[in-house]
């Protein structure tokens, strides 16, 4: 009989469902890290919410662990790298709190627009200040949604119910899908300039960290208001405080913070223009119950039949002969979409040579996950990637060929968008060493890395030296470099792997100095 430890404040229905399925379950509530580390060893399953961190030390102490479940969507409190190395599946329950999160974002938007929190505090202090707390209404205003996933889609419906004009920024969403939702897609800068209310619904990752800073606030209306119920770190808290003090924007509402709980001396805590709540977006009775039920049923499916739903890592892949191709496929998909512009219409994966004879379903799923993950984060997994693509109107196709040109096996990921698309190819040298072999028509040979920089430019002397000098001046070290060209004096490209992500300042200096045809910073998860 499998044993599961529930080590956080999870609804009792979770334990009930597990026990009714014949699974032994200990529900201990929120556990301290040191207690969890000592207790976890005999359990095959572990369930937490957001308060308990499953660190590398806890993963290593769980010598019997097969699966770790998060009753909710975000898995940033679980060391997935450590779990994957141990062969432990990490799964989440991403749908149970969608309504709660969207409703809380709307509640904060309304509260800030009508100065509800300030008026409440004033009343409790014995004052009657009607004119001081005059607010603004939603009808006729423009709601700008950053990230049109499931929660963002709910916000779009709410905005329309209030007779608002709804616009959105989502680099992976095709216009046809946005039209179904009744939403106008805009470029990010245009959304900032037009929106009266901006609400954030994107995951926290390398590309979204600090997404809203001083520059973004400067492009917003002075009457605009910002709402963030997504993740702390997406909004630069210092820049937000200064923008509110200077009148650059009119108001903000935050449910999430860079550090939780935030330090008592955080300037935003004393700023009357911001409405604050302590990470309550998923905290409804219904949502807490639903995520508990969802994760319990997922555990039952796993222990009864080996079925894995909503896995967020790659540990469920059982065939070692294709495990490395799975990692490569995700990297190729992520690269292809980050090198593209426009909403994604389709993904095509071509398998050439020996790999064409494998069962490549997991590889295809990983490629699609790589394409969608920069925009959706933990909402998309290796298990639900195809379904998520279908829901967003993205087609997925496979092709198999016997010939792999100069390789035993090669894989090509093509991303088609409403502005064209990109092709990225790769292989495994000696069956284990990942290599990028092609970007569009350019043949290259470079091992993928977390931080990369792709520059396409007219084939003229001196470009490589200028790029290296600029990056060095900005303290960015080049690990490896590959240069390719279509022909002498035609188009050339540099693909670099870096020790750190290229900064916006470095990219801008390269643009001015080199005047490239295209320049892209690529960040792999």
Poorest-pLDDT segment among 2-11, 398-407, 452-461: 398-407
Q: Which residue has the higher pLDDT, 254 or 407?
A: 254
In terms of Cα–Cα distance, which of 167, 213, 158 is closest to 194?
167
For the residues 144-167, what does the mean pLDDT come to? 96
Question: N- to C-terminal Cα distance for the chain?
Answer: 36
In terms of Cα–Cα distance, which of 350, 320, 358 is closest to 333?
350
- 8 A C-beta contact, residue 204 and residue 230: yes
Dig out the tokens for 500 from the structure: 């750190």
Per-residue pLDDT, 55: 97
pLDDT digits (tens, 9 = 90+) for 320-354: 567 788 889 999 999 999 999 989 999 999 999 98
Question: For residues 18 and 40, what is the distance between their CA atoms, to the nearest angstrom?
Answer: 17
Choosing from 279, 327, 345, 373, which is the catalytic residue? 279
Banded pLDDT at 455 (limits 50, 70, 90) = very high
Banded pLDDT at 318 (limits 50, 70, 90) = very low
Classify the phi-psi angles of 300: left when phi > 0, otherwise alpha if psi is within -120 to 50, otherwise beta: alpha
Poorest-pLDDT segment among 100-104, 222-226, 264-268, 511-515: 511-515
Tokens 């470095």 map to which residue?
506
For the residues 68-75, what does the mean pLDDT come to? 92
258 included as an active-site residue? no
63 included as an active-site residue? no
Question: For residues 291 and 74, what is the distance between their CA atoms, to the nearest angstrom?
Answer: 12
Per-residue pLDDT, 317: 52
81 included as an active-site residue? no
Poorest-pLDDT segment among 158-162, 375-379, 399-403: 375-379
Answer whether residue 357 shows pLDDT above 90: no
Choosing from 49, 104, 201, 231, which is the catalytic residue? 231
Question: For residues 209 and 231, what is the distance between their CA atoms, to the nearest angstrom?
Answer: 9
pLDDT digits (tens, 9 = 90+) for 82-131: 887 787 899 999 899 999 999 999 999 999 999 999 999 999 999 999 98
Catalogue all structural domains in the chain, each as residue range(s) with its CATH number.
Answer: 3-95+285-305 (3.40.50.720), 98-276 (3.40.50.720), 318-440 (3.30.1330.90), 450-525 (3.30.70.260)
Per-residue pLDDT, 315: 44
Choosing from 187, 260, 272, 391, which is the catalytic residue? 260
What is the average pLDDT value for the chain, to the nearest integer?
92
For the residues 156-165, what does the mean pLDDT come to? 98
Percent pLDDT > 70 in the chain is 98
Per-residue pLDDT, 380: 83
The per-residue DSSP string of 404-458 comes to -TTSSEEEEEEEEETTEEEEEEEEEETTTEEEEEEETTEEEEE---SEEEEEEEE
Answer whether residue 393 shows pLDDT above 80: yes
Banded pLDDT at 155 (limits 50, 70, 90) = very high
Query: Could you give the 3-state DSSP secondary structure of residue 164?
Result: coil
Banded pLDDT at 361 (limits 50, 70, 90) = confident
């Amino acid at each position: 009989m499998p044993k599961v430890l529930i080590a956080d404040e999870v609804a009792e229905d979770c334990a009930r469902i597990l026990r009714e399925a014949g699974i032994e379950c200990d529900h201990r509530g929120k556990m301290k890290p040191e207690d969890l580390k000592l207790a976890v060893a005999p359990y095959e399953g572990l369930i937490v919410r957001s308060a308990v961190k499953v660190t590398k030390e806890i993963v290593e102490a769980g010598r019997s662990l097969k699966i770790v479940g998060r009753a909710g969507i975000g898995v940033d409190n679980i060391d997935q790298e450590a779990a994957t190395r141990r062969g432990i599946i990490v799964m989440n329950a991403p749908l149970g709190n969608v309504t709660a999160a969207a409703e809380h974002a709307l509640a904060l938007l309304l509260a800030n627009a009508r100065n509800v929190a300030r008026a409440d505090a004033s009343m409790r202090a014995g004052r009657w200040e009607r004119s001081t707390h005059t607010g603004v209404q939603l009808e006729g205003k423009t709601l700008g949604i950053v990230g049109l996933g499931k929660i963002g889609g709910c916000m779009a419906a709410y905005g329309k119910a209030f007779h608002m004009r709804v616009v959105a920024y989502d680099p992976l969403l095709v216009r046809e899908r946005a039209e179904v939702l009744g939403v106008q897609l805009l470029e990010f800068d245009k959304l900032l300039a037009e929106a009266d209310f901006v609400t954030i619904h994107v995951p926290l990752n390398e590309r979204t960290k600090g997404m809203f800073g001083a520059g973004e606030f400067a492009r917003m209306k002075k009457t605009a208001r910002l709402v963030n119920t997504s993740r702390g770190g997406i909004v630069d808290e210092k820049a937000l405080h200064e923008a509110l003090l200077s009148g650059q924007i009119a108001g903000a509402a935050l449910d999430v913070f860079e550090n939780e709980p935030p330090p008592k001396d955080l300037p935003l805590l004393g700023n009357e223009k911001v409405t604050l709540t302590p990470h309550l977006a998923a905290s409804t009775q219904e949502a807490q119950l639903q995520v508990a039920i969802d994760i319990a049923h997922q555990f039952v499916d796993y222990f009864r039949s080996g079925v894995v739903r909503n896995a967020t890592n790659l540990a469920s892949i059982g065939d070692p002969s294709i495990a490395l191709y799975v990692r490569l496929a995700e990297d190729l998909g992520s690269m292809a979409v980050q090198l593209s512009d426009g909403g994604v219409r389709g993904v095509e994966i071509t398998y050439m040579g020996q790999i064409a004879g494998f069962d490549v379903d997991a590889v295809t799923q990983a490629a699609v996950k790589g394409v969608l993950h920069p925009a959706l984060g933990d909402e998309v997994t290796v298990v639900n990637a195809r379904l998520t693509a279908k829901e967003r109107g993205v087609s997925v196709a496979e092709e198999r060929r016997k010939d792999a040109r100069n390789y035993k096996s090669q894989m090509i990921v093509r991303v088609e968008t409403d502005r064209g698309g990109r092709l990225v190819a790769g292989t495994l040298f000696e069956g284990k060493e990942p290599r990028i072999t092609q970007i569009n028509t350019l043949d290259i040979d470079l091992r993928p890395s977390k931080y990369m920089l792709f520059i396409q430019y007219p084939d003229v002397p001196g470009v490589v030296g200028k790029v290296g000098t600029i990056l060095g001046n900005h303290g960015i070290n080049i690990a490896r470099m590959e240069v390719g060209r279509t022909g002498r004096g035609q188009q050339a490209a540099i693909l670099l792997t870096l020790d750190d992500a290229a900064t916006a300042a470095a990219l801008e200096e390269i643009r001015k100095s080199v005047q490239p045809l295209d320049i892209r910073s690529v960040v792999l998860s």
